Amino acid sequence: MWKYIARRFSTMLFTLFVISLISFAVIQLPPGDYVTSLIARMASQGAGNISQEFQAEMRSLYGLNEPVYMQYLKWMRNILVNGRFGYSFVYQRDAINLIVERLPMSFALAFSSLLFVWAVALPIGIYSAVHQYSTVDYLFSFIGFIGVAVPNFLLALIFLYVSYRVFGRAMVGLFSQDFADAPWSWARVVDLLKHLWIPVIIIGTGGTAGLIRTMRANLLDELNKPYVETARAKGLSENRLLLKYPVRHAMNPFVSTIGWTLPGVVSGEAIVSMVLNLPTAGPVLLGALQAQDMYVAAGFVLLLSTLTVIGTFISDLMLAWVDPRIRLQ
């Protein structure tokens, strides 16, 4: 058990390291160093000149005059020690402020979508497997295929069009106007929940379709296993038997699918948020990339990926918790 966790944990650390390298590469790839492009950008916006001191401070903070690996180390140090992700010239403030503002909502949305995916895919997958080749099974297979084939940003577009046609206005955002900038309150949470279900369904559809197929296939494999027959020969009722044995067994690969569902959901959250203009990380990331505001972009890529990887790690722990074969390794 501990060996398994230790192995998973070291894999996670390695993954995080690689992610930090990739994110750092995002900062490095555009031509010219950051301060130079910052000056150019500021000048073109007529934002006045940046003092020499500020320039020098920035250069030393990020080690821009030093070799690349030192820049990487300084960047990481700033993040890990000071929680500073760098300066956003578009928003004219530290990237961390933007991240703190946007990321929690992103993850609230991704997590809700994951719950939705589970809550829908699990029962449908079980039903489809038990009633293999029934009309309902075919129907869900077909809907599943469409769910996979229609990318969620298209779904969001279609939803926008329909809502515009039906309600006469586009249903965008996560809050009504009254609550958009209001401080958190119970009423604001209720307002959020009223709006949340739309993006949750849009984001979740693709993942749900995939997961229904996985659950169905897993369960079909398990239904013919000898232990099911043993349980049946004991005189268990079909429903109890189904839940205690094959469904329980099929849950294991299902739990491990969180690992690959989560990156998909986070990706989906990003793009759907852009289309629906939700106050999450997606639109800021897009804006930052379009404006080549690289510290912000890198910060978001780093954090979105990191949280995904941690989520995957947690799902691995859950797997060990539900499967004695892993726990007792």
Partner 1 sequence: MSDVLLRVRDLRVHFFTDEGIVKAVDGVDLDIERGKTLCLVGESGCGKSVACRSFLNIVQPPGRIVSGEMLFYGGADREPVDLAKLDAKGRQIRQIRGKEISMIFQEPMTSLSPMYTVGNQIMENILLHTGTSKEDAREKAIDLLGQVGIPKPDRLIDEYPFRLSGGMRQRAMIAMALSCHPNLLVADEPTTALDVTTQAQILDLMLELQHNYGMALLFITHDLGVVAEIADDVAVMYLGKIVERATARVIFNEPQHPYTRSLLRSIPKIAMKREELDPIKGMVPSPFRRPEGCTFHPRCPNVMDVCRHVVPSVTQLDDTHTVQCLLYEPEPVEQARS
Partner 2 sequence: MSVTESLDIDGPVLDTQVQEEEKFEVASQWQLMWWKFTKHKLAMISLVIVVIFYVVALFCEFFAPTTTTQYRAEYVNAPPQPLRLFLDGQWNPFVYGYLSERDPVSFKRTWTIDEATVIPVGFFVRGTPYRLWGLIPMDRHLVGAKEADQPFYLMGADKNGRDVFSRIIYSSRISLTVGLIGVFLSLTLGILLGGISGLMGGVLDNIIQRIIEVLMSIPHLPLWMALAAVVPLQWSAVRVYFMITLILSLISWTGMARVVRSRFLSLREEDFVMAAKLDGCRRWRLILRHMLPSFLSHIIASVTLAIPGMILGETALSFLGLGLRPPVVSWGVMLQDTQRVAVVALYPWLMWPAAAVVLVVLALYFLGDGLRDAADPYQA
40 is a contact residue toward partner 2 (CB under 8 A): no
Sorted by sequence, the CB contacts under 8 Å of residue 238 that are 6+ apart come out as 232
DSSP, collapsed to helix, strand or coil, labels residue 130 as helix
**Cβ(212)–Cβ(257) below 8 Å:** no
CA distance 38 to 292: 10
Amino acid at residue number 264: G
Minimum CB separation from partner 1 for residue 90, in Å?
A: 53
Nearer to partner 1, 316 or 323 (CB): 323
Residue 165 within binding range of partner 1, rule CB under 8 A: no
What is the identity of the amino acid at 306? Answer: T
Name which position in 85, 118, 159, 245 contacts partner 1 (CB under 8 A).
Answer: 245
Query: For partner 1, which stretch binds (CB under 8 A), given 54-62, 158-166, 174-182, 321-329?
Result: 321-329
Calpha distance 142→156 (Å, rounded):
20
Asked if 223 touches partner 2 (CB under 8 A), the answer is no
Q: Around 1, how many Cα atoms within 13 Å sit in the side-chain half-sphere?
A: 10
Tell me, residue by residue from 247 to 276, as one string, x for binding to partner 1 by CB under 8 A and - for no binding. Answer: -xx---------------------------
212 versus 274: smaller Cβ distance to partner 2: 274
Mask 250-289, x = binds partner 2 (CB under 8 A)?
---------xx-xxx-xxx-xx--xx---------xx--x
Q: State which of residues 3, 165, 169, 325 lies at the interface with partner 1 (CB under 8 A).
A: 325
> Which region, left, alpha or beta, applies to residue 168 given φ > 0 means left and ψ of -120 to 50 means alpha?
left
Q: 66 vs 229, which CB is nearer to partner 1?
A: 229
Residue 134 binds to partner 1 (criterion: CB under 8 A): no
- CA–CA separation, 320 vs 302, rounded Å? 27
Closest approach of partner 2 to the CB of residue 309, in Å: 5
* DSSP-derived secondary structure for 215-276: HHHHHHHHHTSHHHHHHHHHT--HHHHHIIIIIHHHHHHHHHTHHHHHHHHHHHHHHHHHHH
**x-or-dash string of contact with partner 1, 189-228, rule CB under 8 A:** ------------------------------------xxx-
Q: How far is CA 137 from CA 10, 18, 130, 140, 220, in A?
A: 41, 42, 9, 5, 12
Residue 233 binding result from partner 1, partner 2, none, given CB thresholds of 5 to 8 Å by partner type: partner 1
Does residue number 298 form part of the binding site for partner 2 (CB under 8 A)?
A: yes
**Binding site partner of 234, from partner 1, partner 2, none, Cβ cut-off 5-8 A by kind:** partner 1
Among 153, 179, 245, 295, binds partner 2 (CB under 8 A): 153
Asked if 238 contacts 246 with a C-beta cutoff of 8 angstroms, the reply is no
Give contact residues for partner 1 (rule: CB under 8 A): 225-227, 229-238, 245, 248-249, 323-325, 328
